[in-house]
């Protein structure tokens, strides 16, 4: 015997599962150092040699908190997310700037964060010779290996 509601219920369950997974994948969170290092490497393809420095920067910028938002800077810009990406140059609360995303996106979408960080790094390297100089906390990351030495990255 065929039940008329079964097909609907299956589709509804599938839709809810996909929505729940999608929401989980974009929720704000606080990372552990090795978890962030592995994700930067395996999910977003960051070069192995850059990962300790980026993990160090994320620690000093936000304590690995993807939902971190700074108080207004002197120029009234605001820094967003785990890497504290600045609203003056890279994102904006209204129109899209350098990274092509709104600042709010940088609080919930690590895929967009990774793309933006790579763009910031590349542009700063082009202008200053060292991409990490985009982050003021880089000065605390001259010997960053201690942030990922125990992570067994390959």
Query: For residue 13, what is the DSSP state?
Result: H
Buried b (16+ CB within 10 A) or exposed e, 41-72: beeeebeeebbbbbbbbbbbbbebbbebbeee
Q: Can you give the C-alpha Rg of the chain in angstroms?
A: 19
Which residues does residue 101 pair with via DSSP β-bridges, in sequence order? 91
What's the CA gap between 106 and 112, in Å, rounded?
Answer: 7
Cα 77 to Cα 32: distance, rounded to the nearest angstrom: 28
Task: Please list the active-site residues.
Answer: 61, 79
Whole-angstrom distance, CA of residue 5 vs CA of residue 102: 41
């Amino acid at each position: 015997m065929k039940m008329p509601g079964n097909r609907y219920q299956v589709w509804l369950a599938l839709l809810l599962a996909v929505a729940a997974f999608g929401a989980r994948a974009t929720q704000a969170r606080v990372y552990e150092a090795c978890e962030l290092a592995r994700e930067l490497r395996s999910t977003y393809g960051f070069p192995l040699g850059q990962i300790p420095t980026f993990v160090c920067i994320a620690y000093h910028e936000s304590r690995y908190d993807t939902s971190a938002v700074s108080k207004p800077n002197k120029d009234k810009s605001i820094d967003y997310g785990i890497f504290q990406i600045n609203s003056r140059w890279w994102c904006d609360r209204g129109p899209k700037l350098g990274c092509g995303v709104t600042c709010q996106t940088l609080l919930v979408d690590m895929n967009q964060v990774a793309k933006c960080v790579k763009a910031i790094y590349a542009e700063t390297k082009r202008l200053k010779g060292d991409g990490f100089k985009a982050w003021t906390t880089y000065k605390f990351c001259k010997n960053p290996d201690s942030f990922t030495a125990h992570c067994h990255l390959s």
